[in-house]
Amino acid sequence: MKILFRESHEWAAIEGKTAKIGISDHAQKELGDLVFINLPEVGAEVKAGDVLCDVESVKAVSDLYAPVSGKVIKVNEELESSPELINQDAMGAWICEIEVTDVPADLMDEAAYKDFIKG
């Protein structure tokens, strides 16, 4: 399994032909307490860089972008009732699983992403 990050702070944990998608710990800190998530639809075809779904914190709504292209095959329904799981463990709280057709070349590994958020 390898974990890659997008500049917009989503991660993709890729294993074989599928990838679990989530947001980084840095992102959850920036967003603050999350109170809603609108999960993507199972079966939806997404292109890397498209809006995948959105999350609501107390203060604002934010779009999340698909880090990879493919088809949504599973969503983490637990997050619907407990979006705070993302705040508690951002790297563990996966949002959906995608059957991957393309992984963009500009995704970063963890070390590169850490440098990126340090600016």
Q: Please identify, using beta-carbon distances, which residue of 58 and 111 lies nearer to other proteins.
A: 58
Count of C-beta atoms within a 10 Å radius of residue 111 = 8
CA distances to 16, 21, 59, 65, 67 from 9, in Å: 22, 11, 18, 9, 9
Q: Which is nearer to other proteins, 18 or 38 (CB)?
A: 38
Which position among 7, 15, 17, 35 is part of the footprint of other proteins (CB under 8 A)? 35
What's the rounded Cα separation, in Å, for the pair 55 and 61? 6
**Does 56 contact other proteins by CB under 8 A?**
yes
Choices 11-19, 34-42, 88-96, 105-113; region in contact with other proteins by CB under 8 A: 34-42
Restricting to residues 75-94, name those near other proteins by CB under 8 A: 80, 87
Where do runs of H (alpha helix) occur along the chain? 25-31, 78-81, 84-88, 110-118
- By the rule CB under 8 A, 61 interacts with other proteins: yes
Closest to other proteins by CB, 8 vs 38, is 38
Q: Give me the torsion for CA of 25, 4, 39, 72, rounded to 10°.
A: -170
How many C-beta atoms lie closer than 10 Å to residue 110's C-beta?
14
Question: Which residue's CB is nearer to other proteins, number 51 or number 112?
Answer: 51
Judged by the rule CB under 8 A, the positions of this chain that interact with other proteins are 32-33, 35-36, 38, 54, 56, 58-61, 80, 87
